[in-house]
Amino acid sequence: MKKSFLSIVCFLFIVFFNGNLYSNTSDKLYEKIDLFGEVLEKIKQEYVDEVDQADVMDSAINGILQSLDPYSAYMSPDLFKSMQTESKGEFGGLGIEIGMEAGVVKVIAPISDTPAEKAGIKAGDYIVRINDIQVQGKSLMEAVKLMRGPVGSSIDLIIRRKGIKKPLSFKIQRKIIQVKSVKAKILGLKNNIGYVKLNSFNENSDKQFVKEIKNYEKTKSLIGYIIDLRNNPGGLLTQAISITDFFLEDGEIVSTKGRKTSETRKFFARKGDGIKGKPVIVLINNGSASASEIFAGALKDHKRAIILGENSYGKGSVQSVIPLKNGGGIRLTISKYYLPSGKSISDVGVSPDIIIKEGEKFQLESDNDNQLNYAIKLFQS
């Protein structure tokens, strides 16, 4: 084996054996490593076009990570740096949370009040082309990179949507995305229903959320609350726990289980229900993921809320962003969420108590929002 491939062998051993080159002497594993080196050598010698071996290795790293689950991925130094702004609530782009499904880029949710949502992108859409570039076969982070660009520039997306035979075409202008976590208003014929739309679980979501609810509680006239988590792709676990705790007197909120002891934990509510037992309806859809599912699932298990809408996304895992020596990073799944009932959210999501599918002319928070309208009627009946 040539010297360049000896480094590859060492790399693979480090990845799979955690740095201990002699921890496993399986002949099959040695054969696979030899095969990997042979394939790379054949590519170098025989492939129709000359390839950059560094790019090939990046693809190999991505292949390893994406074979684990749809959420683990490699980020180049440039992409890793740009991704750091997202958790702080402001970043450039379209406003789409995406994942992978069977090698295809899937929209987890369009973020509320962003170019993607306004253009009509929906949770569950599959992105097949970006600016005439075929997306299938590319990594999640490669797709993210293609969607990023100068503010004000436009991007063309070709979408496949379940139930629609022909592909859909969208032209969307990139903007600075400012994620406003909370939007609140009073609804109902008697103006006695508190409505709070939670768009994400970022650094200050719990403070904004609790502030809105406490302001409404001062009026003494509200009969209950509608918490809207539709198209909320999730965010920080700590925020999900804090906001869920606000509605519970006691009991478990969520548990996480991982290989490390430090990643296996249980989180419990502290005494005190912030709205003193008033009824709660939680709206969810296919774009409600991760932290949204923790909130909805915990309140459902404790029979503290009625869950209404459509089945949630099913992202029940925790990713840690781990910096690498080259300035890049990897997003790696380190544990899974479990609801108080012991059920995992992964792949199955949270099922609503009352299933209300989107109407034909459905539009969030409009007169055609049949899910929200149904929730309002429940309070008024």
Handedness of CA 263, 271, 226, 219 (dihedral sign): negative
Strand (E) or helix (H) holding 130: strand 126-130
The three-state secondary structure class of 18 is coil
Q: Is 273 exposed, middle or buried (0-12, 13-18, 19+ CB in 10 A)?
A: middle
Residue 169 φ/ψ, nearest 5 degrees: -110, 135
Catalytic (active-site) positions = 290, 301, 315
Write out the two tokens for 231.
Answer: 């198209």
Q: Is 22 exposed, middle or buried (0-12, 13-18, 19+ CB in 10 A)?
A: exposed
Laid out side by side, the sheet with 354-355 consists of 182-187, 193-198, 224-228, 280-284, 306-309, 354-355
Q: Quickly list DSSP for 261-276.
A: GGG-EEEEPPS--TTT
User: Could you tell me if 140 and 152 are in contact, meaning their C-beta atoms sit under 8 angstroms apart?
Assistant: no
Q: Quickly list DSSP for 200-244.
A: -B-TTHHHHHHHHHHHHHTTS---EEEEE-TT---B-HHHHHHHH
Residues 122 and 330: their CA atoms lie apart, in Å, by: 27
